Structure 1
Amino acid sequence: MREQRSSCCGTICTECEYYPNECAGCQAVQGKVFWLGFTGEDVCGIYDCCIHQKKLLHCGLCKALPCKRYELSEPTKSEAENQANLERQLFRLHNTPPLVWEEGEIRLEQAAELHRAAAEEMKQEFFQHGEATINGSALFDQLDFDEWLKRANRNHHPETVQTDWAVATTFFAVRKTDGKMLGMLDLRHSLDTPFLKEYGGHIGYAVRPTQRRKGYAVQMLQTALAGCARIGISPVVLGCYADNIASVRTIETCGGVLVEEKPYLDGKLMHCYSIRV
């Protein structure tokens, strides 16, 4: 079965007769789709507005949806077919959007196909700085994007979560002003496994090397904590190495209270914090 890939406009690229030979998908070609040769444009107007101008993950997050850009129709299809396609697009955008939380300068966007290129680029930055482990990445440091995203989606639902893990939502942190990907954050909705109860905590996170010491870790954690309050997770438990001063300061800045000190699996001392939201 062919993997499903979608565009920011709600179109399922992999259902198109021109995929993948004439067009590899809107995200892969960054909006420079094959049919622009008939319109004279440099990039799809919907893609340009959503991704480049408004810096949104997809049009379902735009208050103007559906705008005049959605009034364009496919000339080879009937009016009824075009209307049916539009209704399907809008249904997808309104009913199945990834989770997005906003606070301050950043957004936490639930991992999706639309993040592929930026996520791969960020992962290479971690590796190039000698960091083989990306905290809060739900094993993105060990898996290719396709396998990793399938795993993240399975673990997001109680019916399909791994038996040795808890239901979790994995986010990318994105700067609102320019859409720059800043890091990753994994939120476990419960501590139902022995490992998470003993060592893991509800939240793991990492800021990419070139964006550190700018206050983004605090903003990421604050945004996640506000989200925890909305979905009823309290207190929030977090852990970090005792000698990780940056993480200690981040957690304490966000209201973390030290409740326990103990050795981690590798023997290093770790701090366990609790935050009521």
Structure 2
Amino acid sequence: MERLRLVLPTAEYKAACLDYRKEFEQHNDVMHGTAGLSHMESFEAWLKDIQNSHLEEELTNDRVPATTYLAVTVDTHHLIGMVNIRHRLNDVLKTSGGHIGYSVRASKRQMGYATEMLGLALEKCKTLRIPRVLITCDQDNIASAKTIKNNQGQLSQSFMHEGAMIEHYWIDLTEEA
């Protein structure tokens, strides 16, 4: 039974998103998969940015089309985590970042939510026709590696990048897999 669903952010989630960011700040934690929520000057600026992030003509610099989702509980709509799906890879994402970034608020970790979120994100990748999904994590992030492996992630390589050991996992979404 699914406990979560992925929804697109809207103005009605402003308080929930700001509370989510505050929880990460209180734990001095990094917010992966939030499309820059941690450093946006306002919720409204962030929302506008992510609402246009799937449009090629709206992208600048080295950005690729992407969709950001909120992972909310099915029953109470409580914000548990966030997922960012990059529709394709560029050189930066091929090294560090991959197709999917995600995070779970500290108070809801070690409850299986990350595994469920990643599974839901992989279903979205299928609709985007991404046949193989690259997910990266720091080698010392045991929880993330476990989440990826729980979703059929296969370790392909480990390497040093900017002072951290990075692991690359691939998940094959083709019918034959």
TM range (shorter): over 0.9
Which residue matches 1:96?
none
Q: How does 1:235-254 map to 2 (within 5 A)?
A: 235-254=132-151
Give yes or no for contact 1:170–1:186 (8 Å, CA) kept in 2. Answer: yes
SS at match of 2:38: coil
Write the letter of the residue equivalent to 2:103.
Answer: A
- 2: CA distance between counterparts of 1:169 and 1:240? 20
User: Match of 1:255, SS?
Assistant: coil
Residue 124 of structure 2 aligns to a residue in which SS? helix
Deviation digits for residues 211-235 of structure 1, max 9, x if unmatched? 1111000000000001111221120
> Could you tell me whether the CA contact under 8 Å between 1:129 and 1:209 is conserved in 2?
yes
Question: Residue 46 of structure 1 corresponds to which residue in structure 2?
Answer: none
Matching residue of 2:170: 274
- The aligned amino acid for 1:225 is L
Report matched runs for 1:74-223 at 5 Å.
104-131=2-29, 133-143=30-40, 144-191=42-89, 193-223=90-120
Offset, 1:163: 3.3
**SS of equivalent to 1:149:** helix
More strand by share: 2
Q: CA RMSD in A?
A: 1.2
Partner of 1:94: none
Which ranges in structure 1 are unaligned for 5 or more consecutive residues?
Answer: 1-102
1:226 matched to 2:123? The reply is: yes
Aligned partner letter, 2:114: A
4+ residue runs over 3 A deviation: none
Greater relative contact order: 1 or 2 (C-alpha under 8 angstroms, separation 6 or more)?
2
For 1:162 and 1:140, the matched residues in 2 are separated by: 17
Which segment is superposed worse, 193-202 or 182-191?
193-202
Letter in 1 for 2:149: E
Tell me the CA shift for residue 104 of structure 1: 1.4
Determine the C-alpha separation between the residues in 1 that align with 2:82 and 2:60.
Answer: 21
SS at match of 2:16: helix
TM-score by length of 1: 0.60
3-state DSSP of counterpart to 1:225: helix
Aligned-pair CA distance for 1:117: 1.1
**Unpaired runs of at least 5, structure 2:** none
Q: What do residues 118-155 of structure 1 show as CA deviations (whole Å, max 9, x unaligned)?
A: 11111111111122x20111110001211111211221
Matched to 1:242, the amino acid is: Q
Per the TM alignment, residue 260 of structure 1 is displaced from its structure 2 partner at its CA by 1.0
CA distance in 1, matches of 2:81, 2:35: 13
Q: Is the CA contact (8 Å cut-off) linking 1:202 and 1:238 kept in structure 2? A: yes
Partner of 1:22: none
Q: Distance in 2 between matches of 1:236 and 1:254?
A: 11
Measured after TM superposition, the shift of residue 181 of structure 1 is 0.4
- The structural deviation recorded for 1:177 is 1.4
In structure 2, C-alpha distance between the alignment counterparts of 1:228 and 1:153, rounded to whole Å: 18
Q: Residue 159 of structure 1: SS of its match in structure 2?
A: helix
Compare CA radii of gyration and give the structure with the larger one: 1
